[in-house]
Structure 1
């Protein structure tokens, strides 16, 4: 079963086209909804959550209309981009209230479980008004996990999290998938997923689907692209071209395609005498992926 299906979906906000004929399906397991800010990711998530309706098209979540999927028990948990809490209530109070509204039996057990999972137990009985942005994000994630939903949808879950907490969240996502649950993550940051090979990805840009592909394909592109920063960029580009590298300039950097890691030293050698600030592999941003997609449909290629 497809956990999420969009078919020819349009969403307008006045004269702005937020989703422009979007079609994709996401299987069970881990799925990523990728795209730069303003690409339509949050609009798609809000439609999945039943917070807004599409103007045209067909949307199903776990085979049901988004407004009906949680009608008889919590099948889907959501972390939406814009959430709010009462400053005077504690994190524990918020989760207990949510658990009771959801009709969960033994709500205390559910609340203590999710607090432990997101490592928030020590802050549970402190007023939310004292929480940092990262702690608030943890509380919102805990709310999404209440009731052991079979599908968890997380919109920009790494926002406001430090490196250690981000790593813990990535471990949690992997554990949820191993348990047999499905997780859909909307993000504009690739770095958290660079070790993954299993999963599905949809890349959005300006409200359109640019590609739908296995996550492993994106990660192979990530590994085989070197990012060079320095000045002048024109000199860097010319030197690499003369050395036989396939490369192109994107904003403040040059992207270089390589076939093996040993070529990194050859790149450095080719740039001798030019002011180079940074040479790194495996650090592509979403915008870089979009440029690679234009470059001979690189992401969809099945090469090794």
Structure 2
């Protein structure tokens, strides 16, 4: 269907508007195998992007391809895509098993019962599979939706807030499942507002702000490119005051602060600071015990991009 060099999902100058409201504005990106996190504040356009990607919405402008094929009005792509919407799209009168088997029948699988049992086991829902989905908790509904999306063994999994309502054990189980799928060469793209989970699970991130793509790639690489924002880290040493005095003489150090026994250092360039810190320690005759970055997290990157 597509060569190994072709990204699983391709957006090219995609826009989507509703009347005078622009939900997605000239967005271009590629998504390949692995786990990609889609981040953005409420109303940023994340769900619209996912729906366009799944062929449920037509782009107002631009092109979207999935595995080399157009996404819009192309039923063939559903053989290769599993979609988990954010809303609770389950039939309350069906049992979990019946719900997943229904998805298997819609995909015309040769053995719907067997395929459903396999998918239900993947999300650890076998003990509750005979109960009506109307009796499920929110987290259980999420997992049975994921089972239905996996029943045909798709190459691409698109999830909108998949961890909603899941307890810590369920989150870990789903995280392990997505990691396993990624190692198998599948493409997992999911939106989430829980930054810690995205940081722990995603290989790359797409940050959407006001309908535009603000950044894409490994969030640590994105942070390294933020040259207009100083890097901040804390240092523990045998003599913080002496070290601080020598650091102030280093051109690459923007500032230091010693508060409550903690030495905080700000630098314009991380590499230059990495050279300056041991040099200052040698000149001061002190021993460095620990260096810890304070603003290298995904939350820091996300906050910076949203507030620009």
Q: Give TM-score scaled by structure 1 length.
A: 0.74
Unaligned 5+ runs, structure 1? 228-237, 248-257, 268-279, 298-304
Tell me what 1:262 maps to: 290
Which residue of the other structure, out of 212, 215, 218, is the alignment partner of 1:214?
A: 218
Q: Which has the larger radius of gyration?
A: 2
In the TM superposition, residue 119 of structure 1 has moved relative to its aligned partner by 0.5
CA contact under 8 A between 2:123 and 2:174: conserved in structure 1? yes
Tell me what 2:208 maps to: 204
Distance 1:34 1:261 in 2: 35
In the TM superposition, residue 167 of structure 1 has moved relative to its aligned partner by 1.0
Tell me what 2:7 maps to: 2
Distance 1:9 1:186 in 2: 18
5 Å-filtered alignment, 1:228-267, equals 240=257, 245-246=265-266, 262-263=290-291
Whether 1:112 aligns to 2:124 is no
In the TM superposition, residue 178 of structure 1 has moved relative to its aligned partner by 1.3
Distance 2:53 2:72 in 1: 8
Which residue of the other structure, out of 179, 187, 192, is the alignment partner of 2:192?
A: 187
5 Å-filtered alignment, 1:11-30, equals 11-30=16-35
Whether 1:37 aligns to 2:32 is no
Unaligned 5+ runs, structure 2? 1-5, 235-254, 268-272, 275-287
In the TM superposition, residue 239 of structure 1 has moved relative to its aligned partner by 9.2
Give secondary structure in 2 for the equivalent of 1:51: coil
Give secondary structure in 2 for the equivalent of 1:104: coil
Whether 1:58 aligns to 2:70 is no
Tell me what 2:279 maps to: none
Distance 1:261 1:68 in 2: 60
Give secondary structure in 2 for the equivalent of 1:191: helix
Tell me what 1:84 maps to: 89
Distance 1:284 1:215 in 2: 6
> CA-to-partner distance for each residue in 1:177-221, whole Å, 9 max, x for gaps?
11221111222222124345x733211111000112125536989
More deviation, 115-124/14-23: 14-23
More deviation, 204-213/59-68: 59-68
Q: Give TM-score scaled by structure 2 length.
A: 0.73
Equivalences, count: 257
Tell me what 2:304 maps to: 292
Give secondary structure in 2 for the equivalent of 1:158: coil
Whether 1:98 aligns to 2:99 is no
